[in-house]
Structure 1
Amino acid sequence: MNENLRLHPPAAASLQRKTPPEGNTIEGVYISSNMTVMCPQYVLGRDEEVYERPKEFLPERWYLHSEMVKQRAAFAPFSLGPYGFIGKPLALLTLRNTLVRLVTMFDFEFAPGEDGTAFEGKEKDRFTMGYGDLQILFRKRSEIGSKVNMVREFGLVAALHVPMYGPIYVI
């Protein structure tokens, strides 16, 4: 999820702030008074000074190769501090739950003629990000097939059944 949020943040530009009347010096650079400043997450997520190989989708950068994240403090897809998104925990829980449900219940692939490029490069910053169309085919998995596929594709190490949610797989 972090890798997807790095490349496709919910808000590209984050909130703007004004520097104080006396100005501010950040890492030796003086920023004069009452200037509008911001940390654009979309740009930071693709910056070579912040991430190694920033244009590549590499989920392992967050758990196997943490050295690929050069400046962890730059990762703030929901903003930080008193202006951070109050619904972040619920949003992350919803994302995790949705992802687990999709992966355990469906096989999915690009629709015929789709290669993902329609999604990339058509982003629009409308306070929250808007992305291009992406057409995907979903096919319901059989119970046995889904467990076999999960083990083969994702290195499944544990599986459990929670009555309220159905099967939950830990990878």
Structure 2
Amino acid sequence: MDRAKHPVTNLAGRYGHPLHPALVAVPIGAWVASFAFDLASRFVPGPQSLADGARWLIGLGVVGAIAAALAGFLDLFAIPTGTPVFRTALGHMAINLAVTGAYAVNFALRGVGPPGPVAAGPLALSAVSLAGLTVAGYLGGELAYRYGVRVADETTQAQGYHHADKENS
């Protein structure tokens, strides 16, 4: 179990500071913002700038997801195979890969559409992709908060709860 708390390489971040959770903020933020732009493009005059912005946010999210996936893949190597946590990690990874693929397709679809508000098809694909991202995020939370993957052990965590004034008396 302790093995899953330590990085297999410093490329995944040092002990207690994994890179994967920090990197996922980029695709999550970009894809949520792109959906907001999608919706707004259907209700404002001159929607093209919002539609274009949504497309580029999707592209940024795909690039960010690839970086996050590389760090996450390194974390996967630290998890013992055949365990519930490993199965959860595989599910988390599979869903995220499917979501990233869906967003890559969505990016490509938007490059050939007519100008104007985001069409119903790409909008629906974004909504379904966000739903998948939510499930994958839930599983990521299970990995970190339930199973403690790449989280410092309790002895290390407890050091942050000692009062400095009690140590000096």
- Normalising by structure 1, we get a TM-score of 0.32
Relative contact order: is structure 1 or structure 2 higher (C-alpha 8 Å, sep ≥ 6)? 2
Q: Larger helix proportion, structure 1 or 2?
A: 2
Which structure has greater strand proportion? 1
